[in-house]
Amino acid sequence: MPSIDELHTGNLLWLVAAGYVGYIIYHLLYNLFWHPLASFPGPTIAAVTPLYKAYIDLVAKSSFVHTLEKLHAQYGDIVRVGPNEIHFSSPSAYLEIYNAYNKWDKEKSLYHSFGEDRSSFGFLTYNEAKERRDVLLKLFSKKAIADVQGLVLEKVTKLCDSFENLGSKPADLFYAYRCMAVDVITYLCFGNDIDAIGAPDYEAPIVKAMDSSLPVFIGFKHSSLLKGSIMNCPPRLSKIVSPATSGLVDLQQLLKGQINDLTKDPKNLQNLPHSTTIYHQLLRPDAYRSGTVPSVGSLYEESQALLFGGADTTGATLMHGSFYILTLPTVYAKLKAELLRAWPVLNVIPSLSELEKLPYLTAVIKESLRMSPGVASPLPRVVPSSGATIHKTFIPGDVVVEMSSHFVHRNETIFPNPDEFIPDRWLESKVNDLDKWLVAFSKGPRRCLGSNLAWAELYLCFAHVFRKFTVEIGPSSPKKLEWRDCFLPEYRGPHLKAILTKAAA
Ligand code: HEM
């Protein structure tokens, strides 16, 4: 016979379990019938639980942006994709969410999944981000980037030299462009020349580590417990627990070591190869309204944000553009002809500002930015407590609203034949109208901080590669560039390869 105490404990456990089940059922019913978004269209499962999105990302391992295409086809321009989350598909809604006037917070579970909470990218509020952005913008303004174009050119030239050394062996452009972008950022921002371009077959450990950590971050988005247990592990242990992030852990150690040296003795700044690293700017107390330099942890997170923000995105844009240039002979011929006209003698290299004046090259870059997924995911923002009207619909306060640039860039009214690479569309009349819809760098106060650097890399890299070489698509290259939404795109299938033969003069 159980004792009275045992009976009491048993009853208590039942009561707690019943209370928990009751709470969950109430929660599900609330989300379905009484939540302020109850009347918004969308799948029922998405309305009741955030596990719907977790299922798409982690179990089905499918692509949320591609799922959204189907959801909008079924439910219309506004879809409830989570209990408190709405996605829009109409291009005008994009400009209503992301614009200079809306200083809306970023949503926490996504933006704190990357371990960059104390960086320009990871700060949730406008005010925190603004203080950091104001300091960094001095390094990323159009003028600042024009001043350091020589450093970018150095890496683009190194990439071209490495192509030359390959002879008739195909170059893996998927990795090669990323290596170039990593070398630009690590050299320009942190003063570290890690020579990713020099890695055999461009398989630099840092580039591979960034690639394999994308799905890990998606796991972190859905489980802060998972994130806490991996990120707070000592480096050696976290490499064993999560091999996918081991290259990243090495990079963390490298940058953290550098930051420690600099914060302990700022005189070490003089040992960096040039005076325009982010540390020169970020370690100046007078650069801040508060007069206080960020913590070592925050400085590290800023460096990780810049690396992830600038490497994959720029590399992917170059790869997408190259893929279409190589598969569309007319585009290739027009680009080559313009480059030959503007740059007749190979060793008299045009400056960045001269390249910026080339209409067809500019159109190729815009079209590459449009076709590349860039930051693939919707960018979630929290509507202020007073609510907001988007797409003629009142959205209650504290609701998360979002939209992926994919839905602007693939809109067939703005971009007829949206799945085709047509640089000429940017050259036709009413060009400025079309520029308004190029949202690869997003819009508003949280727009891309590094867009001027990205443009410089795109101009220099496309011009140098396609002027200095005759480029042919390599064997085993993909017929289509397939990707999955992991915030940044995760590519599937074979890599784009090219055979680059040095041009005569
Ligand atoms: C083609 C290349 C690039 C594309 C398509 C791109 C795209 C974007 C987009 C869409 C955002 C907004 C993200 C959000 O709201 O969550 C963003 C933010 C950001 N980007 Fe870029 N980016 C590129 C290159 C770069 C480069 C080269 C850097 C710097 C080295 C950089 C640094 C950043 C940072 C720090 C942010 C966060 C800004 C903030 O939240 O206030 N990006 N980028």
pLDDT tens-place string over residues 92-144? 999 999 999 999 999 999 999 888 899 999 999 999 999 999 999 989 999 99
- State if residue 440 touches ligand 1 by the CB under 6 angstroms criterion: yes
pTM of the complete model beyond 0.90: yes
Closest residue CA from atom 29 of ligand 1: 450
Going from the Cα of 425 to the center of ligand 1, the distance in angstroms, rounded, reads: 25
- State if residue 204 touches ligand 1 by the CB under 6 angstroms criterion: no
The pairing of strands 85-88 and 400-402 is: parallel
> Among the atoms of ligand 1, which is closest to the Cα of residue 307?
30
Closest residue CA from atom 9 of ligand 1: 441
Instruction: Write out the E strands in 26-151.
Output: 78-82, 85-88, 105-106
Closest residue CA from atom 26 of ligand 1: 310
In angstroms, the CA 248 to CA 156 distance is 24
pLDDT for 4 equals 62
167 CB contacts (<8 Å, ≥6 apart)?
Answer: none
- State if residue 129 touches ligand 1 by the CB under 6 angstroms criterion: yes
Distances (CA, A) of 74 to 31, 43, 44, 79, 402: 21, 10, 13, 9, 18
pLDDT for 430 equals 66
Going from the Cα of 49 to the center of ligand 1, the distance in angstroms, rounded, reads: 30
Specify the amino acid at residue 376.
A
Return the number of other C-beta atoms located less than 10 Å from residue 377's C-beta: 22
ipTM associated with this complex: 0.99
3-state secondary structure of 206: helix
Going residue by residue through the chain (505 aa), what tens digit of pLDDT does each one get? 556 666 677 788 888 888 888 888 888 999 999 999 999 999 999 999 999 999 999 999 999 999 999 999 999 999 999 999 999 999 999 999 999 999 999 999 999 988 889 999 999 999 999 999 999 998 999 999 999 999 999 999 999 999 999 999 999 999 999 999 999 999 988 888 789 999 999 999 888 888 888 888 888 888 887 777 777 777 777 777 777 767 777 777 878 888 888 888 878 888 888 888 888 888 888 888 888 889 888 998 998 899 889 999 999 999 999 999 999 999 999 999 999 999 999 999 999 999 999 999 999 999 999 999 999 999 999 999 999 999 999 999 999 999 999 999 999 999 999 999 999 999 986 666 899 999 999 999 999 999 999 999 999 999 999 999 999 999 889 999 999 999 999 998 899 999 999 998 7
Is 448 marked as binding a ligand?
Answer: yes
Going from the Cα of 441 to the center of ligand 1, the distance in angstroms, rounded, reads: 6
In angstroms, the CA 53 to CA 80 distance is 11
> Among the atoms of ligand 1, which is closest to the Cα of residue 181?
27
- State if residue 248 touches ligand 1 by the CB under 6 angstroms criterion: no
pLDDT for 429 equals 64
Return the number of other C-beta atoms located less than 10 Å from residue 159's C-beta: 25
In angstroms, the CA 390 to CA 91 distance is 11
In angstroms, the CA 146 to CA 152 distance is 10
Q: End-to-end distance of the chain based on CA atoms, in angstroms? A: 97
Query: Which of 117, 124, 448 for a ligand 1 pocket mutation test, highest count of atoms within 8 Å of Cβ?
Result: 448
In angstroms, the CA 301 to CA 256 distance is 10
In angstroms, the CA 26 to CA 175 distance is 50
Structural domain boundaries in the chain: 90-502
- Where helices occur in 296-358 by DSSP H, the ranges are 296-327, 329-342, 352-356
Going from the Cα of 438 to the center of ligand 1, the distance in angstroms, rounded, reads: 14
- State if residue 452 touches ligand 1 by the CB under 6 angstroms criterion: no
Residue 320 has φ and ψ, to the nearest 5°, of: -60, -50
Going from the Cα of 447 to the center of ligand 1, the distance in angstroms, rounded, reads: 7
Q: What is the pLDDT of residues 263-299, one digit of tens each?
A: 888 788 888 888 888 888 888 888 888 888 898 889 9
Return the number of other C-beta atoms located less than 10 Å from residue 350's C-beta: 18
- State if residue 306 touches ligand 1 by the CB under 6 angstroms criterion: yes
The pairing of strands 488-492 and 482-486 is: antiparallel
- State if residue 110 touches ligand 1 by the CB under 6 angstroms criterion: no
Q: Domain 90-502 has what CATH class?
A: mainly alpha
Closest residue CA from atom 17 of ligand 1: 448
- State if residue 149 touches ligand 1 by the CB under 6 angstroms criterion: no
